[in-house]
Structure 1
Amino acid sequence: MEKTIEKRWIAAFAITAAVALTGLFWDHAHVDTPNTQFNSTDAIVPADVAWLLTASCLVLLMTPGLAFFYGGMVGRKNVISTMLKSFICLGVISLLWVTVGFSLSFGSPLGIDIDGTHYGLIGNPLDFAFFDYVDEHPNATMATTIPFILFALFQMKFAIITPAIITGALAERIRFVSFLLFICLFSLLIYTPLCHMVWHPNGLLGSYFHVKDFAGGTVVHMSAGFAAIAGVLVIGKRKHLEYIPTNIPFVLLGTGLLWFGWFGFNAGSSLAANHTAAMAFATTSVASASAMLTWVFFDRLNGRKVSALGACIGAVVGLVAITPAAGFVSVPKSMFFGFIAAIVSNAMVNWKSLKRFDDTLDVFACHGVGGIMGMILTAIFAEGENASLLHGGWGIFSHHMIALVLVAAFSFFGAIVLYKITNLFIPLRVSEEAEVQGLDMSQHNETIG
């Protein structure tokens, strides 16, 4: 058994080395004279650059914040392993994004023709491989006032946190090396197609279905939520279901970091220092505040005590729900987003039928359901011409609902296939002995003390 494990790690190291060496000798194509795909650097707006640099840092901070948020909720024997699974995404997904992920997300569309127009399902993997043509020149169609490399790095932070969200559902029983393989497959085969279809100018969901997703309710939270519940079904329950959060102050710290970083997540998605960024900043804060209060009051109405854990979960649910609509709705509407999403997610967290599946940290009930509620509410209330039910009619709303079903099915069933493929190469679950010992010691030979 030890020999098999060693071979897996040798393979992982060899792949990392191959990527690093390929990058060293890659014939990078510099854009000395911008072609039709790129603008001159004269188009750069310094204020936009400053804000997107800041926003990128804020979104990066969300992944360590998520690590504290999850780490405080699990049992004492699994704190380090849970936190590390978030942190490791900073390394794995960053390299994956540079080599091929960005190309698959924002490369020239590969897809289908509908009524004489080409709509992308995924990007050409060779367009921006190893950040080819990704330098200081702004792209002519995407983020036209900032260097293309800054746009790529901003988007990379979204790609990093998405698989990290999934970890909370599988905590305390998934093998570390199999998790690494799964997040690579998930990022390449689920995240990048969704990212392309929603956010590329010619993507199928954004361009044909007119799906509104300002900052990732569909691309990030729905995909992670459905992949999380798929993993729970494939891997199965923990052997010991006793749920005692180890460190509530960690959860509070993580929530604070997430809330702070979310301003970059949502307001940064304006891709400019403008009025839309300011409005997204406001709606983000207010929706989270509304959801936090709604969650604790709803708990009390149902006979449960007001808890710090509940307040933190409520705040995050509000952030999730407002994400797809942050730049499309007014502040008063954002209060309603937080209110209704907190009630629905709270009901799902405490729904006995869902409890049977052992989603360790209720990732689906919070991120998945929060993302669904955000998408539905966006489809009803988003402002602007032909943007929603109230501003465009039933046709726009029905397109959103069709897209919701497609995204849910693609993320859920696609993830099940990827978990099973992963399990063919490396068993997903740790042994029962390792689970009882705790993943901190059995997987990493470390302990919190």
Structure 2
Amino acid sequence: MDQGNTAFLLIMAALVLLMTPGLAFFYGGLVKAKSVISMMMMSFGAIGLIGVLWVLYGYAIAFPGAEGLVAPWSIDWSAIGLTSLLETPEGAAYPPLAFVAFQATFAIITVALISGAIADRAKFGAWMVFAAIWATIVYFPVASWVFNFGVEDGSFTYGGWTTFGMQEAFGVGVIDFAGGTAVHINAGAAALALALVLGKRVGFSKGAHVPHNPPFVLLGAGLLWFGWFGFNSGSELAADGTAALAWVNTLAAPAAALLAWLLVEKIKDGKPTSVGAASGAVAGLVAITPACASLTPGWAIVLGLVAGAVCALAIDLKFKFGFDDSLDVVGIHLVGGLIGTLYLGFFANGTGLIYSGDPTQLLVQAIAAFSVLIYSFVLAFIIGTLIQKTMGFRVTNEDEIAGVDTVVHGEDAYKLETV
């Protein structure tokens, strides 16, 4: 066992886990003061719930082994509860549980991302029910499509269909190094579905809902960026040159996206904002996630500029089309994930269109991106609708106006005392 790689992987997993509390601050600062506890609790609820489900059966669905990979959805029953993974095989670079830990943090952050679309108006219990069902029938299988890198069986390699299935069909597999499809497009599509199911907030209009605490937003963005180095570099599963390239690109792309977002804000609204800087950095981080190991740093900067500018414009789509994506999960994660995934079809080292003259890489990127989008959106819409029709997903308008924190959690984020 390589103790260096083991330590690397466990540290990267801890960094990725920190992203979810970072997301709680990022989202918490963006909502109304009367909803900040509710918003942050949905992230912390995801940590507790998905952490348990991943150990019980999530890993067994996402990484089912050779016999399960012929089917689109299956379970490795021997991995239920992880008892079969306690021993490290001879010659393994790291213990199986180190990989289990790393992938668990991806499942947690993906579910937590969705919650930003339903801020200010969702019941916590209904959110937890949704999170459990969606993780089970959407995230865990999609993680298998994308992150299950395959096992050898004689002369044939089994693996997730977006990688090995595409390789067999088109000669090249999908490039998604750290989860542009499985994490960001997946969460963004589900967020759009829930925004439609729950409907608009009271008084929804452009400029009606402003962030109550921009310093929280900046703190959250900083924690997210810090953890994202683990997200992207750690996906190499080894401390090597590819991890170093991913690290540099995880610096370059969001830095460029931050600048591009601020420039768009200055042109559109006359003032660059702190929330814009934070949002731009996150948009760049989203876009570079699938591409961080497959671009030169120069092309990573170009990707960041494109993502920052396009996502800054995309967040206004909700006003144009009339859906209330409270914290712009669609405009940043869905749009940014699509940009990063499709960008590889043009600029991926070796196989991108500008290098090979062959559009096949772009084709397989598009197939994977829109397959995940449709699968996640449809199932999230069905799950959300069933919850809304049964136990109720949205609080009443009166409770929304009174404040979700007090009504749902019996707490206030800020106590104003007079002497």
- Fold conserved between structures, TM > 0.5: yes
C-alpha distance 281-255 of structure 1, shift in aligned 2 (>3 A) = same
User: Which residue is 2:170 aligned to?
Assistant: none
Unaligned runs of 5+ in 1: 1-43, 112-117
Whether 2:378 is the aligned partner of 1:421: answer no
**How many residue pairs end up in the alignment?**
396
Q: Quick one: distance in 2 between partners of 1:153 and 1:419? A: 29
Q: In structure 2, what is the Cα distance between the partners aligned to 1:125 and 1:178?
A: 29
Q: 1:121 aligns with which of 66, 69, 72?
A: 72
Cα distance, 1:246–1:127 mapped onto 2, change above 3 Å: same
> Could you say which residue in structure 1 is the equivalent of 2:330?
364
1:41-440 aligned within 5 A: 44-108=1-65, 119-138=70-89, 144-200=92-148, 201=150, 202-209=159-166, 210-241=173-204, 242-351=208-317, 353-354=319-320, 356-384=322-350, 386=351, 390-391=355-356, 393-440=358-405
Partners of 2:194 and 2:235 in 1: how far apart?
Answer: 29
Contact 1:109 1:120 in 2 (8 A): no
Report the residue type matching 2:116 in the other structure: G
- Percent identity of equivalent pairs: 40
Structure 1 outlier segments of 4+, above 3 Å: 351-355, 386-392
For 1:421 and 1:96, the matched residues in 2 are separated by: 21
Counterpart-to-counterpart distance in 2, 1:62 and 1:308: 20
Deviates more, 1:159-168 or 1:432-441: 432-441
Contact 1:105 1:196 in 2 (8 A): yes
Q: 1: distance between equivalents of 2:130 and 2:345?
A: 32
CA contact (8 A) 1:81 1:444 kept: yes
Distance in structure 2 (CA, Å) of the matches to 1:197 and 1:139: 27
Deviates more, 1:410-419 or 1:118-127: 118-127
Maintained 8 Å contact 1:53/1:150: yes
Q: Write the letter of the residue equivalent to 1:440.
A: D
How big is the shift at 1:163?
1.0
State the Cα RMSD in Å.
1.7
Structure 2: tracts of 5 or more residues without a match: 151-158, 167-172
Counterpart CA distance in 2 for 1:97 and 1:392 is 42
> 1:18 maps to which residue?
none
Letter in 1 for 2:221: T
Partner SS state of residue 127, structure 1: helix
TM-score by length of 1: 0.85
Q: 1:253 to 1:353 in 2, by over 3 A?
A: closer
**Aligned 8 A contact 2:318 2:325 in 1:** no
Report the CA distance between 1:153 and its aligned residue. 0.5
> 1 CA distance for matches of 2:357 and 2:83?
40
Distance 1:379 1:418 in 2: 33
User: Per-residue deviation at 1:120?
Assistant: 4.7
For residue 184 of structure 1, report the CA deviation from its aligned partner.
0.6
1:108, 1:123 within 8 Å by CA — same for their partners in 2? no
**For 2:270 and 2:89, how far apart are their aligned partners in 1?**
53
**In the TM superposition, what is the alpha-carbon distance from 1:389 to its structure 2 partner?**
6.3
Distance in structure 1 (CA, Å) of the matches to 2:177 and 2:384: 29
Cα drift, residue 125 of structure 1: 4.4
Q: Distance in 2 between matches of 1:204 and 1:163?
A: 22
Aligned partners of 1:129 and 1:444: how far apart in 2?
33
1:184 and 1:110 map into 2 onto residues whose CA distance is 26
CA deviation vs aligned residue, 1:181-205 (integer Å, no higher than 9, x gap): 0001111111111110111121111
* 1:286-331 Cα deviation digits (max 9, x unpaired): 1010000111012112233110000000000000000001111111
